[in-house]
A and B are shown apart, each in its own frame.
Chain A
Amino acid sequence: MKIEVAVFPFHERMLPFIRHFNQAQDVYHICQAIAWSGSGLNGRDAAFICCHPNIGIPVVSPTETKSFIGWQILFVDCDELERSSAAFNSFTFFEQLLSKGKKIIAVAKNNNLCSNGEWTPLCQKYSEQIQFFSAADDVKGKPTSQSSGYSLLSVPVLLVGGLISQEDCLEVILALRESFMCQGKVVSCLTGSNMGLLMGMHTYTHIFDKKATLSEEDKALVLNQMAQDIVQVERPSLFIVEAPDPMMKYNNAAPNGFGLQTYLLCQALKPNLLVCSVPPDVAVAEGFLSLISKDFTARYGVPIMALHVNNVMVAAFDIIRLHKVTCVHTNIPVADMLRKQQSKNCAFPIFNVVSEGADGLAQLILQREALLW
């Protein structure tokens, strides 16, 4: 019998994690997601946040304690907690849970939460009931005089990145991981999600942290060293990494990060294969994506191998108004319909791992991977 678990605060990036977590291990079972009241998700299925098919995990707000199902452990995403402007007092909430004997497993990019800040009194009083997983403690990849220095990885590297937003990149990685593991293959994954630490995956959030004091060069070196350490320990047949930001500038009004962090990552890891997550209206005539692929070859050193078509549309009205790219999630059947209409014009294989699973994409990767050897 698995241990029942809830997650808090539930947000969009957490959806792929809770979709795949239960199948990925035998100890815990996520049965509920707790989201801020303002998310609009109270009473809905967790997948509604991305307009995906239901996954059977209900969402409640933290004030709806009577709706809590009988879970014993709460997974907490500390970085999301820190980002939020909610007035709800999370630490009073934690205290209430801990005083009733529940446990907390918290994930964060930094490893000093217990010793300073609001966690400190809770850690002192409930030390047996709180456990932290931090990105900083995961794999020690700091360059030292004994380090092996910068070198290419000895396994193929698959980069999964979003063209305009990071929509579904984590979903693609987790789905591929699951598919490969079913085939008996070992894959190592490095993503921008701390929740992945609970699944034996790795994260670079502490490296790209705005407060980190690493220089740009050191970020690349640390990433490279970290990846080498992971490969040395896990001996994977494939190393999958998530692009840390959208891969290209959207336009002059909304530069969207210019793909700077992805460039840095590609300098560190030299990917061999690229799966690009694109909106449904972008998977159109061959010309556009072929040009993008050429640009990616020049900029990141890797062309597009395949596309995952997501279900987001850019809200163009916000581009001028807010100078940033915002999106709306469309109904999956509409996105799939567009994809099928346009796939015959597309030079790249098109997939949707949300509606079809990742087996087809995994097969294609294995074929391309074989060519690399």
Chain B
Amino acid sequence: MPHPFIQLFKTPRSQYVYDANKNEILPVSSEAFCFLSNCTRGSENIETTSLTEIKELRQQGYLATESVVQDIRHPYTPFVGDFLDRKISQMTLQVTQGCNLRCKYCIYSEEINQHQRSHSSKSMDWKTAKQAVDFLYAHSIDSDHVTIAFYGGEPLLALPLIQQVVAYSRELFDGKEIDYTITSNGTLLTDEIMHFLVNEKIHLVISLDGPKEIHDRNRVFAGGGGTFDTIMKNLGRLKELDAEYHEKIQFSMVMDPANDFDCINEITISTKDFNQHNINAAIVDREYDEEEAAFSEKYIWKFRYQNFLAFLSVLGRFPPNRVSAISRSAISSLIQDARYIDLSGPLRQIDVPGGPCIPGQMRLFVNVDGNFFPCERVSETSPVMSIGSLETGFNVEKAIYLLNVGAITKENCRNCWAIRHCSSCAKKADIGEETLSAQFKLSHCESIRLNAYVKLRQLILLNEINCHYSDQVREKKRMAK
């Protein structure tokens, strides 16, 4: 029996159908919802129904039983060469592979990683760095603005090289907007380095995983011992030197979901040591370890509770300063996304899942040896992820192959209701071989679909506020007056 190409959503007040072909969310009656549920289970036939609501929707082109997508191909495929030739906007330089820490979840750890390089003391030399900057110069004609990001290991171990790159690139790119960013573990910030960062307006991102108890569990010096106190001391000094610069520091928080979320989150509520709005949190990446992150009950339920409080704070029913900054940031992103959910339009005959970017165009990663990768998150040892080098230039065919990763699972992707909301890219299909793995890619689909489902349901809730919950919101404001 034909199944409609849809996904169903139910809230306490109403019911909805997401039409995948149209990329639209429609409210439906409970009768229609019930019928459509039965259709998806195969116990009803949508083509022979007498339900007026269903028939009318089908007449308008909704509730089709097949995907309109016939082929998976990214529309920019013929132009990848042009984008890589003229529109590079950010280059990330791996100035060193050396690091003074040995974080327990580090993707470069010899003990746990399967498909990534290990710690080493290799550093980029000036010849390679200059060649990389010249490459960016020659391949950013159509970019009004470029960024050079410094990465490691711990990039501050290669400070003289960074200083050379900044001086050289400032002169070379005179007349074009250029800025710099550095991702650091925050333990090597001397006064000299702080002055350099402030004077050159280099955007600083510091890795900080939570309060001392949580942070020091994983982020330790190579010789042993936690790093939290050192980082806090350095942040305090930086605040003394330049409070305005200090206020703009970003923090990258790796969350180990084995921990209690309240413990992780404590630092975002109680701290006065930095701007808590500048925290970007993500779950620890274990993909290259062939493991999945283990989620504790204390993490799951407390994270959900904080998200609930974040929703209430958006509605004016709970003080925002008592909500986790991590959850507030997530809800803000959701609200932002809600504005643009229909941007990508309905599905087309030739279409592509929503995940991939043009490899190398937005965040070209250059390792110490001058080899190119789509970004700093992929494996440097994976043959399929290498997209060229400073010596050979871009391998455009490889970039096209990675961009069209959806083609290796064409039948699954074209028939997936979440195709428009997919976050999968070539990294999810990388098993360290010469070609991408369809099987490995498909192993992520369930969680991606679940994330898409949760996100759309939250968007529906936000839309319901004005029609179902406006009285409660207004009541609170009247009482506040």
Q: Which residues of A contact B (CB under 8 A)?
A: 9, 35-41, 48-49, 51, 84-88, 251-253, 281, 313, 315-320, 326-331, 334, 338
Contacts and interface: CB of A to CB of B under 8 A. Distances in A.
Contacts of B340: 251-253, 320
B78 A334 contact: yes
B146 to A, nearest CB: 9
Contact of A252 (B83, B141, B339, B362): B339
A163 to B, nearest CB: 17
Nearest to A250: B343
B173 A251 contact: no
25 contacts: A36-B174, A36-B175, A37-B175, A38-B174, A38-B175, A38-B176, A39-B141, A40-B138, A48-B141, A88-B174, A252-B340, A253-B340, A281-B75, A313-B76, A313-B79, A316-B76, A320-B340, A328-B87, A328-B142, A329-B86, A329-B141, A329-B142, A330-B79, A334-B78, A338-B78
Interface of A is mostly: loop
B144 A37 contact: no
A82 B363 CA distance: 31
What 8 A-B pairs are tightest by C-beta distance, nearest first? A36-B175, A38-B176, A38-B175, A38-B173, A86-B175, A328-B87, A37-B174, A330-B82
Interface of B is mostly: loop
Contacts, number: 85
A85 B177 contact: yes
Contacts of A40: 137-138, 140-141, 176
A315 B177 contact: no
Contact-size category for B: 20 to 34
Given A36-B175, A37-B172, A253 B339 contact: yes
Nearest to A323: B340
Contacts of B78: 334, 338
Contacts of B235: none
Contacts of A86: 174-175
B418 interface: no
A342 to B, nearest CB: 13
A327 B86 CA distance: 10
A251 B339 CA distance: 11
A85 B175 contact: yes
Given A36-B175, A37-B171, A251-B340, 9 more contacts: A36-B174, A40-B137, A40-B140, A51-B82, A319-B343, A328-B87, A328-B142, A330-B82, A331-B82
B134 to A, nearest CB: 10
A37 B82 CA distance: 22
Given A51-B86, A253-B339, A253-B340, A38 B178 contact: yes
B462 interface: no
A315 B361 CA distance: 10
A334 B362 CA distance: 23
Nearest to B339: A252
Nearest to B344: A316
